[in-house]
Amino acid sequence: MTYQAASAPPLSQQRKIVIYIAVLAGMFMASLDMQIIATALPTIAESLGDLELFGWVGAGYLLATAAVTPFYGKLGDLFGRKRVFMVAIGLFTIGSLACGMAWSMQSLIAARVLQGLGGGGLMTSAFAIIADLFEPRERAKYQGYSSAVFTLSGLIGPVAGGFIAQTFGWEYIFLINLPLGVIVIGVIAFAMPSFSPKRSHSIDYLGGLLLAASVTGLVFWAEEALGGSYSGPLIYVLPAVVVVALTAFVLVERRAVEPILPLGLLRNRQISLTLAMSILMGVATLGMLNYFALAMQMITGLPPAMAGLLFLPASIGSLLAAIVSGNITARTGRYKIFPVIGMALGAFVLYGFTHISATTPFWAIGILMFFFSICMGLQMQTLMVAVQSSAPRADVGAATGALTLSRMIGASLGLAANGGLLHGALQRAQEALPADIAAQLPVPLPDLTPKAVQELPPELGARMVEAFAWAFSHVLYFGSGLFAAGFVLALLLKDVRLPIQGKKAEAEPDAVPVVAE
């Protein structure tokens, strides 16, 4: 049921834009929260102590998000987007307040879990609302504009996090969400129609819990095993738990009246290919960006602030690619070409990164970053349009949630797998060092920071940079291979044409049937 459905009054374009901006603000809150905390974490750990729990500030949020994301899309289909979005942003805002009032690392982690319970619904609900507001071709354009949210948060998040934590206190990186959250809730409450689809409200709790258990187990296993921890029996038990939970999930979904993830969606070739590409892209892009930041500092020797400027071309390229591809899709109704080009470009760009060294000009690195971001911009919103236009209207929320979950799984696996690859290669490089060279290092090679490398004697420092570049090339080759696999999947997509609102299917025989009640 969309906002243009017969049971709801048509919305004026002005009212649609007001709702759209409010939804983007909610997306911005969730996106900024993932960026702004990175540079403030050292200050938080210094203030609250318990440094060994440091990683759980991010992991707690991620696991909570993974657990609830499958629910939000389906709940929006059943109870209406407005209710679900307001619950999500309400939980996120309350969680932000709890984070700002945390008195210990344990209480902050608990508050981050609460925040994640809301954050898991902001992205899914926001994209589903955009799908309801605009018809398929127009939707492609506005999904492209949505990329500005991620670009803006990526630009100001790390800088704002460090500045706020140092100037006002780390608590305020969370408390700044409060006024924005209240404003968004107010706008949505008054501007957005309040009605629910006329369909049964049979919630598949068991299926949702099984899917949440499998996804949470997979994410946790990735953090522990692929990340290089390799400690404890859980890394051997969790894969079995995930397989059992997924098997039980499929059996439950086959019998469910209102499945949390309709299995029929996965039988749709266009949707299944898109979900697979989203996982691959999550590993090769979102799961690699953190290691790009480390590599730029280690290899170029630039301080963090200057190395951060190398990401400016990336932000601009991603935004331009998303907007241009969105507008072309809106005009022509075709979108297959963009993931095909994006995947091919990503494979070549990551291969190009394997040739950078301490002598590589900054402008050359900037060009590579620019084209890497273009491959991201050509795909992120295009794949969202592909999934939403291929799903029955009654299951748009579930399909949107599935794509969001696929990206998150890919990003989680990427962070862990890429980190494991880098750590393993650095360990092998450490073992290959002559004993006299290894003895000169203040810490083992895998534990060297960019600052520590800069403080080494020039000849020794240059050798360590070379070793790190060799180790990082393993991550780049892995990512390039994933893009190549994604290129093959993109070629298998049907070259469909999105319909124009108001035109009959006969007028465009190859149009995608977006309404299938």
Distances (CA, A) of 480 to 410, 416, 508: 15, 17, 37
Structure token digits, residue 194:
């309040």
Structure token digits, residue 280:
């691959």
**Is 48 in the same domain as 160?**
yes
**Is 89 in the same domain as 228?**
no
> Which of 185, 202, 219 corresponds to the end of one domain?
202
The ranges of the chain with pLDDT < 50 are 1-8, 504-517
- Which domain CATH number covers 48? 1.20.1250.20
Q: Is residue 234 part of a domain?
A: yes
List alpha helices for 333-457, DSSP H.
337-353, 362-377, 380-390, 396-432, 435-439, 450-454
Which phi and psi angles does 259 have, rounded to 5°? -60, 145
**Is 247 in the same domain as 283?**
no
**Is 93 in the same domain as 232?**
no
Nearest to 463 by CA among 430, 491, 422, 489: 430
**Is 335 in the same domain as 427?**
yes
| Cβ atoms of residues 512 and 499 within 8 Å | yes
Residue reference for tokens 């109704």? 333
Residue reference for tokens 């490398």? 453
Q: SS3 for 497?
A: strand
| Cβ atoms of residues 127 and 69 within 8 Å | no
147-192 residue pLDDT tens: 667 766 766 776 677 778 778 888 888 998 899 999 999 999 888 8
List alpha helices for 222-336, DSSP H.
234-255, 263-267, 269-281, 289-300, 304-309, 312-332
**Is 370 in the same domain as 459?**
yes
Structure token digits, residue 73:
């899309």
**Number of domains forming the structure of the chain:** 3
At 155 the pLDDT is 64
At 513 the pLDDT is 40
**Is 153 in the same domain as 287?**
no
**Is 447 in the same domain as 317?**
yes
**Is 237 in the same domain as 286?**
no
212-225 residue pLDDT tens: 788 778 877 776 66
Q: Is residue 115 part of a domain?
A: yes
Q: SS3 for 511?
A: strand
pTM: 0.76
At 260 the pLDDT is 76
**Is 345 in the same domain as 448?**
yes
DSSP secondary structure, 87-104, as one string:
HHHHHHHHHHHHHHT--S
Kindly report the number of other CB atoms within 10 A of residue 363's CB atom.
9
**Is 110 in the same domain as 242?**
no
At 506 the pLDDT is 38
Kindly report the number of other CB atoms within 10 A of residue 347's CB atom.
21
In which domain, by residue range, is 252 found?
205-256
Q: Is residue 474 part of a domain?
A: yes
At 509 the pLDDT is 41
Q: Is residue 158 part of a domain?
A: yes
At 95 the pLDDT is 93
**Is 223 in the same domain as 308?**
no
Q: Is residue 21 part of a domain?
A: yes
